Amino acid sequence: MRMNTLSLLSQLSVPSEAKIALVVMDGLGGLPHPETQQTELETARTANLDYLAREGICGLAEPIGPGLTPGSGPGHLALFGYDPLTFTIGRGILEALGVDFPLQPGDVAARGNFCTIDDHHLIVDRRAGRISTEECTRLCQQLSDIAMPGIQALVAPVEEHRFLLVLRGDHLNPDLSDSDPQQLGLPAKEVTPLSTGAIKTAALANEWVARAKAILASSYPANMVLLRGFSELPHFPSLSELYKLNPAAIATYPMYRGLAKLLGMKVVDGGHSIEDEFAALAKYYGQHDFIFLHIKQTDSAGEDGDFWRKVRVIEEVDAALSRLLELHPDVIIVTGDHSTPAVLKAHSWHPVPFLLYSQFCRPDEVTGFSERACTRGSLGTFPALELMPLALAHARRLTKFGA
Amino acid sequence: MRMNTLSLLSQLSVPSEAKIALVVMDGLGGLPHPETQQTELETARTANLDYLAREGICGLAEPIGPGLTPGSGPGHLALFGYDPLTFTIGRGILEALGVDFPLQPGDVAARGNFCTIDDHHLIVDRRAGRISTEECTRLCQQLSDIAMPGIQALVAPVEEHRFLLVLRGDHLNPDLSDSDPQQLGLPAKEVTPLSTGAIKTAALANEWVARAKAILASSYPANMVLLRGFSELPHFPSLSELYKLNPAAIATYPMYRGLAKLLGMKVVDGGHSIEDEFAALAKYYGQHDFIFLHIKQTDSAGEDGDFWRKVRVIEEVDAALSRLLELHPDVIIVTGDHSTPAVLKAHSWHPVPFLLYSQFCRPDEVTGFSERACTRGSLGTFPALELMPLALAHARRLTKFGA
């Protein structure tokens, strides 16, 4: 969506009692099973989703554009109306959101890798043989002891060889180059300032790397660190500023809670299971007019290449949807942030099944919820950025443009 | 449409004998009747429209964008290829067009409200209890007596509490703030200049308000005025400049005639009824290569929530279309400027049924004219801004781009 479309929506949106529920099944879109020729969603028995699709309008949402495979960050930003090509979140910040790290304004975060260097300081393995997460945690504790002059250097383990570095202090600036040359046979690069305001921060980052290298000297294969994606918390307009909503988010994974917080949503306790999440939805429903509920398990099953587990997760969500239907929100939207077909074991570029249910839908001819059915939906294949104007319109929360 | 698409069209368009007829049924799009589950257009018997849809191409036109509800001004601008987010018409000017006020270049027009203030000059009713149009007319006559130094202040009644103020003189500038605080319990605001060139005009506007207030002191509840939307006639490129057309407009409502004039169309006498309008079309057909015929009654019926009257109007237009078909124009387009579903009693965001008939259409699978059928049309859901290039192309009035 163009920046001026967002400003237009902020002008046209009005407060209202009408409620919108957005259920995002991460990685929802799939591809046919080679034996049955049916996708995960086509295979699953989904009485509630089929009902919503039949009574509402359907289509296929494109998070970024044709052929482009989104990460989870950009995929979600698009759903909430933030063009992922304009609203970018640094890799360091995404890493921090992913481990629920309590970031403060002004923090500079970087994504770190433990790596292996040889006697000539040349990189021979960028991932240090993928050390265990336990080993990563132990090394991070050692690195946490590095005392830096005038600032704090906070280190948190992520997974295997990956960790998070957060520099905290006054006047830090994330405008820094990566130290990771992304190639073997070269030494780690100096972190260089990309603008004059970042000279001090670059020096601090390099000093931290030097001291980390000294500490790790005897920790082969994890005897060096590489840093990339220096970034700070971006300031995005909130859903409340843009759309006059009082939004809540329910998610079991930290990254999605962090992202929701970044967009000004109130993150409420969603428990640990799909059932927990829908129970939380019912509990907090009265206090909010926009509720985002995130289901991670569809994506995890897809990433694992487990077609049948993804089918079962979809069926579990479908059953849980009964709790949402009983609340009679004015608008219900069910979609994903991208496709994760089990046959690909990865995120993909395929557009994502989308349904919108409200009493003001003009009916189309879709009678069930699936990739194939959505192809015939009245929304066609459309940019995911259009979700929010469609949601607000069907909730009658947008006034007329011009006289 | 982007400005450079317009400039491209003006480069590629060529004069020709081929004729284009554009029939706009205002507020054409609808929603299903709760009892029959059929929309107004699906309910109406429309042999001619169905014929045109079957032989031509169909789709659903989006005047501004997904979820956005257009006013009639922006809705029409989009049909003629003028992006309503770029080509804006001030509220004062729209009001003047709506009452057929003979605007002159340099006039500054504002939309006025009679309102009620209390003894402390605070606004207690922004619409003065919606006084009658007769009372409005009487008060406007009184205000017309205000003699301003060096300029004319022209006042015209609109409807109920609404009136039009036009300041006419040399070097006036519409870059002024509203005096309407849009809130009760506050006094009317001073009109302030928004740029240095508007200082003199602001002073004149404030003087006029002060004198109006004195005159209205004893006219409770209409004892004060509020002004907003100061604006002047915009200069838009004409249809003739952009598309090399010699266009005529037929409309029974002043606003649409005014808009057509603004775009360089020749406004011909269209009488008072739908039959009159189609008779005018036949009469002026020989002299023009582009004829815009506007039907207001579909929208009025929708706004009134009168489903069956809207059905009858559509059937009346369908019958009248026989006269147009006899003329064998090269291209016939039938659509609306927005949807006005009777069940909503208001303009809505739903995309608008669209048909284009010409001997050069590549057939699609649509066999009748309705919202549902147009969903399956080969044009899909598309920006209304694409109407003009499609019309010109099918009339073979556009040359090839590039060698």
Distance from CA of B282 to the nearest CA of A (A): 31
| Same domain (yes/no): A255, A382 | yes
Residues of B in contact with A378 (CB under 8 A): 60, 375, 381
**What are the CA-CA distances from residue B396 to residues A48, A143, A145, B292, B391 (Å)?**
50, 72, 76, 19, 9
- What are the tens digits of pLDDT across the range A107-145? 999 999 999 999 999 999 999 999 999 999 999 999 999
- Is A400 contained in some domain? no
Confidence (pLDDT) at B1? 53
| Residues B68, A393: C-beta atoms closer than 8 Å | yes
Q: Is A363 in contact with B69 (Cβ distance < 8 A)? A: no
Under the phi-then-psi rule, with left for phi > 0, alpha for psi from -120 to 50, and beta for the rest, what region is A315? alpha
Under 8 Å between Cβ of A164 and A255: no
Query: Do residues B207 and B253 share a domain?
Result: no
What kind and span of H or E run contains B166?
Answer: strand B162-168
* CA B122 to each of CA B63, B114, B189: distance values in angstroms, whole numbers, following the listed order: 40, 14, 10
Q: Is B188 a member of any domain?
A: yes
Kindly report the nearest CA distance between residue A403 and chain B, in angstroms.
4
- Facing B67 at nearest CB: one of A362, A363, A390: A390
Q: What is the pLDDT of residues B248-259, one digit of tens each?
A: 999 999 899 999
3-state secondary structure of B163: strand
Task: Give A-chain residues touching B109 at CB under 8 angstroms.
Answer: none
Q: Which residues from A are below 8 Å from B336, CB to CB?
A: none
How large is the average pLDDT for residues B8-20? 96
Chain centroid to CA B153 = 26
* Residues 6 or more apart in contact with residue A181 via CB below 8 angstroms: A123, A187, A188, A189
Residue B84 touches chain A, beta carbons under 8 Å: yes
Query: Residues of B numbered 320-349 whose beta carbons fall under 8 angstroms of chain A's beta carbons: which are they?
Result: 344, 347-349
The H-or-E segment that residue A274 falls in is helix A274-284
Residue A347 shares a structural domain with residue A273? yes
Nearest CA in chain A to B349: A393
Q: Report yes or no on A323 lying in a domain.
A: yes
Q: Which residues of A touch B372 (CB under 8 A)?
A: 363-365
**What's the pLDDT score for residue A1?**
44
pLDDT mean over A233-250: 97
Interchain contact, A398 vs B68, CB within 8 Å: yes
| Residue B182 pLDDT exceeds 50 | yes
Count of CB contacts below 8 A, A vs B?
A: 78
Distances (CA, A) of B242 to B7, B29, B48, B249: 7, 28, 31, 17
By the CB < 8 Å criterion, does A8 face chain B? Answer: yes
Identify the pLDDT of residue A98.
87
A391 to chain B: which residues are within 8 Å by CB? Answer: 67
| In the block, residue with structure tokens 């220096």 | A230
Whether residue B372 and residue A363 make contact (CB cut-off 8 A), yes or no, is yes
Closest CB to A400 among B69, B94, B372:
B69
Most B CBs within 10 A among A4, A362, A375, A386, hence the mutation to make, goes to A362
Alpha-carbon distance B193 to A161, whole Å?
62
Q: Which of A231, A261, A295 is the last residue of a domain?
A: A231
Q: What is the pLDDT of residue B3?
A: 58
What SS3 class is residue A200? helix
Give the end of a domain, one of A208, A231, A254. Answer: A231
Residue of chain B with shortest Cα separation from A393 = B67
Those residues with Cβ within 8 angstroms of residue A286's Cβ, 6 or more apart along the chain or in another chain: none
Contact assignment for B32 to A362 by CB distance below 8 Å? yes
For A79: left if phi > 0, alpha if psi spans -120 to 50, otherwise beta; the answer is alpha
| Amino acid found at A336 | G
- The answer as to whether B369 is a domain residue is yes
A189 shares its domain with A128: yes
| Angle, helix A199-216 to helix A133-143, in steps of 10 degrees | 120
Same domain, residue pair B136 and B51: no
Residues B332-373 have pLDDT tens digits of 999 999 999 999 999 999 999 999 999 999 989 999 999 999
Contact A362 B39 (CB under 8 A): yes
pLDDT mean across residues, chain A:
96
**Which residue is closest to B352 within chain A, CA to CA?**
A362
- Tell me the per-residue pLDDT of B283-301, one tens digit each, with 9 for 90 and over: 999 999 999 999 999 999 9
Q: A144 and A97 share a domain?
A: yes
Q: List the single residue in A360, A386, A401 with the smallest CB-CB distance to B74.
A: A401
Query: What is the structure's pLDDT at B170?
Result: 96
At which of A205, A231, A257 does a domain end? A231
Q: pLDDT tens digit string along B71-122?
A: 999 999 999 999 999 999 998 998 999 898 999 999 999 999 999 999 999 9
- DSSP secondary structure letters along A282-351: HHHGGG-SEEEEEE-HHHHHHHTT-HHHHHHHHHHHHHHHHHHHHT--SEEEEE-SSB--TTTTS-B-S-
Structure tokens at B229: 């939307």
State whether A168 and A80 are in the same domain.
Answer: no
> Tokens at residue A92, please?
């360091």
CA pair distance B330, B348, nearest whole angstrom: 31
Interchain contact, A378 vs B375, CB within 8 Å? yes
Task: Count CB neighbours of A42 within 10 A.
Answer: 21
- CA atoms of B332 and B205, how far apart (whole Å): 47
- Indicate the residue type of B115: C
pLDDT interval class at A88 (50, 70, 90):
very high
CB-based burial, A282-315: b 16+ in 10 Å, e otherwise: eebbeebbbbbbbbbbbbbbbbeebbebbbbbbb
Determine which helix (DSSP H) or strand (DSSP E) holds B158, and give its type and residue range.
strand B152-159
In this predicted structure, the answer to whether residue B403 has a pLDDT above a threshold of 60 is yes
Pick from B231, B129, B128: nearest CA to B178: B231
Q: How far apart are CA B74 and CA A12, in angstroms?
A: 14
- Widest CA span in chain A: 74
Residues of A in contact with B78 (CB under 8 A): none
Regarding whether A384 and A295 lie in a shared domain, the answer is yes
Mutate to test the interface with A, among B28, B164, B349 (most CBs of A within 10 A): B349
Question: In this complex, is the C-beta atom of B382 within 8 Å of any C-beta atom belonging to chain A?
Answer: no
Contact B85 A8 (CB under 8 A): yes
The SS3 call for residue A204 is helix
Asked if B131 and B62 sit in the same domain, the reply is: no
- Chain B nearest-CA distance from A362, in A, is 6
Predicted local confidence at residue B396, as pLDDT: 98
Contact B70 A393 (CB under 8 A): no
Query: Residue ranges of the alpha helices (H) in B217-306?
Result: 239-243, 254-262, 274-284, 297-303
Q: Are B231 and B272 in contact (CB under 8 A)?
A: no
In terms of Cβ atoms closer than 10 Å to its own Cβ (0-12, 13-18, 19+), residue B324 is buried
* Residue A103 near residue A96 (C-beta atoms within 8 A): yes
> Would you place residue A205 in the very low, low, confident or very high pLDDT band (cuts 50, 70, 90)?
very high
Chain B residue closest to A13 (CA)?
B68
**From the CA of B148, how many Å to the nearest CA of chain A?**
30
Out of A362, A379, A389, the one facing B68 most closely (by C-beta) is A389
CA distance A32 to A41: 9
Task: Flag whether A10 is in a domain.
Answer: yes
What ipTM does the predicted assembly reach? Answer: 0.89
Q: Considering the domain boundaries, does residue B402 fall inside one? A: no
The answer to whether residue B169 is domain-embedded is yes
Q: What domain range includes position A369?
A: 3-88+237-394
Q: Does residue B279 contact residue B238 with C-beta atoms inside 8 Å?
A: no
- The CA distance from B38 to the nearest CA of chain A, in Å, is 10
Residues of chain B positioned with their CB less than 8 A from the CB of A398: 67-69, 349
* Residue in A337, A273, A260 with CA at minimum distance from that of residue A302: A337
State the nearest Cα–Cα gap between A402 and chain B, in angstroms: 5
Q: Given pLDDT bands bounded at 50, 70 and 90, which one contains residue A198? A: very high
Tens-place pLDDT, residues B375-402? 999 999 999 999 999 999 999 999 999 8
- Helix segments in B327-386, DSSP class H: 371-375
Residues A197 and A272 in one domain: no
Number of domains comprising chain A: 2
Instruction: Show which of residues 31-60 on chain B sit within 8 Å of chain A, judged by CB atoms.
Output: 31-32, 37, 39, 60
Nearest to B371 among A362, A380, A393 (CB): A362
According to DSSP, residue A148 is labeled: B
Bridge partners (DSSP) listed for residue B157? B163
CATH number for the domain spanning B45: value is 3.40.720.10
- pLDDT tens figures, A305-351: 999 999 999 999 999 999 999 999 999 999 999 999 999 999 999 99
CB-CB neighbors (< 8 A) of B85 in chain A: 4, 8
Set of chain A residues whose Cβ sits within 8 Å of the Cβ of B347: 400
d(CA B337, CA A396): 20
pLDDT attached to residue A5 = 86
The verdict on residue A402 lying in a domain is no
Specify whether A199 is located in the same domain as A268: no
- Which has the closest alpha carbon to B77: B91, B89, B92, B90? B89
Of all residues in chain B, what percent carry a pLDDT higher than 70? 99
Tokens 């008939």 sit on residue: B357
How far apart CA A259 and CA B208 sit, in angstroms, is: 53
Cβ-nearest to A380 among B68, B85, B381: B381
Contact B67 A389 (CB under 8 A): yes
Q: Which of A54, A29, A152 is nearest to A361 (CA)?
A: A54
Check pLDDT > 90 for residue A403: no
A56 and A113 assigned to the same domain: no
Instruction: Return d(Cα B233, Cα B97) in angstroms, integer.
Output: 10
- Comparing CB atoms, the residue among B65, B380, B381 nearest residue A389 is B65
Contact in structure between A390 and A59 (CB atoms under 8 Å): no
